[in-house]
Structure 1
Amino acid sequence: MNQTIRKQYSKQLEYFQSQIPLGSQSAGVLIATVEHYHQIIAEIEKQSGEDLSRFRIPDSVFRDRDTYMTNGFRDRLGSLIGYLKADIEEEKEEGSSDTLKIITGIQRTLRKLFRTKPNSEKAVQEKLEDLFNGQQLNFKREQEHIPYSSKTYIPDFTFEDINGVVEVKFCNNIEREKELIAEINDDIQAYSTRYKNLIFVIYDGGGFIRDEEKFKQDIESKSVVVEIVKH
């Protein structure tokens, strides 16, 4: 089974696992939930060609007409997650070549791609996509959906090879600075449930962020990078 399948489905199943109530005294797991789990197994089997029947939920944990025993279900689900993650290669750290390539490209090249000042976040996204394609990076644009709390977040760019996200923000007035801090903090909470390395690109279209270090100091960490590009 290749790394992409292992990574994709281990993350999906971990989220699935987080929605299952803990403890044997819970109301049990609905048959519909078990059927969904079996559908995921079937998808993995189809893509990988492996027999994963040992991870299916047996009749022995059938509780009543409508539910399965919670602990029995969680045990099989946890075993499948462990199997998928067992041979996943160690994720690249922030200093990896691809991550450095992304950050360096943003710092050195992004501003030069604009002949005139952009007027929207989408315009910056388009140029970043051109940049990443030119760097021959493996990425997806606005394809991943991350449910968190009562919202679903869609990262601008996701990079499975470095377990990372690049998110674009556009600053076009002085009031926008405070809004950006709140937006980034919200994004960090959601994106970090699935990705390890987060890169936020803020295109400052008029020098509205005057103190870059102060802006970054409470946001950046080992796994969060903020790059401010001024026009």
Structure 2
Amino acid sequence: MQQQALFEDVRANLSILRAYLLNPVNPKAERISGIADFLETNLRRAMLHMPERERDVQGVVEQLLIGKGMENGLDYDRESGRVKYSAKEVIPDFSLPQLFTAIEVKLVKDRSKMGSVVDEINADIVAYGRAYRALVFVVYDVSGCIRDGAEFRRNIEAADGVRAIIVKH
């Protein structure tokens, strides 16, 4: 009887272990996705006036992170985490060190700047990819020149660990 009970305990534990191993769980990816979804959902509502500079959008993103219960210096850092790439250093707008994630904010003010924003994003993917496992790009469009968000995101999100959020004013 004791052997039977011991066998059943071992069998139950093996079944639990097997189920755990067959169902990959990535809590960091889920947290990153949750933060990105939160920013995508709430950024436009939190923007009280038309942003003039990228720093205006960054300020609202920081307020949303604080509202989500995150602390500067503990859960996220602003304008820190230098990444050396070739002959220059780049600094992400926000870094989430526990999640190995960088958040970069881009402001699209007019159609003529659209190409340079895409170039900046591509350069950031290469540079930040050396130090961070995940990158979240928050693209705030005040000009309305991003007509098809899925098309804009398609090539950017082709790289592993990259997510692009488009918010229209």
TM-score range, shorter chain: 0.7 to 0.9
2:128 corresponds in structure 1 to 191
Answer yes or no: is 1:120 the counterpart of 2:53: yes
Answer yes or no: is 1:153 the counterpart of 2:90: yes
Paired residues, number: 140
Q: CA deviation at 1:93?
A: 4.3
CA distance in 2, matches of 1:166, 1:207: 22
Letter in 2 for 1:118: P
**Residues 2-41 of structure 1 correspond to what in structure 2 (within 5 A)?**
none
CA distance in 1, matches of 2:89, 2:150: 30
Output the TM-score relative to the length of structure 1.
Answer: 0.58
Per the alignment, in what secondary structure is the counterpart of residue 185 of structure 1? helix
- State the percentage of identical aligned residues: 34
Tell me: higher relative CO, structure 1 or 2? Use CA pairs within 8 A at least 6 residues apart: 2
1:82 corresponds in structure 2 to none
Answer yes or no: is 1:103 the counterpart of 2:41: no
Q: Indicate the RMSD between aligned Cα atoms, in angstroms.
A: 1.6
Q: CA deviation at 1:103?
A: 1.1
Q: CA deviation at 1:206?
A: 2.1
Extract structure 1 runs of 4+ deviating beyond 6 A. none
Per the alignment, in what secondary structure is the counterpart of residue 103 of structure 1? helix
CA distance in 2, matches of 1:132, 1:197: 17
Q: 134, 139, 146: which one pairs with 1:209?
A: 146
CA distance in 2, matches of 1:165, 1:171: 19
Q: Any idea what the Cα deviations from partners look like across 1:101-153, whole Å, max 9, x if unmatched?
A: 31122111110112221111000000000000111221000011111011100
Per the alignment, in what secondary structure is the counterpart of residue 178 of structure 1? helix
Letter in 1 for 2:52: N
2:165 corresponds in structure 1 to 227
Per the alignment, in what secondary structure is the counterpart of residue 165 of structure 2? strand
CA distance in 1, matches of 2:148, 2:87: 33
Per the alignment, in what secondary structure is the counterpart of residue 225 of structure 1? strand
Per the alignment, in what secondary structure is the counterpart of residue 136 of structure 1? coil
Q: CA deviation at 1:155?
A: 0.3
Per the alignment, in what secondary structure is the counterpart of residue 69 of structure 2? coil
- Ranges in structure 2 where 5+ consecutive residues have no aligned partner: 1-25
- Ranges in structure 1 where 5+ consecutive residues have no aligned partner: 1-90
Given that residues 92 and 162 in structure 1 are in contact (C-alpha distance below 8 angstroms), is that contact kept between their aligned partners in structure 2?
A: no
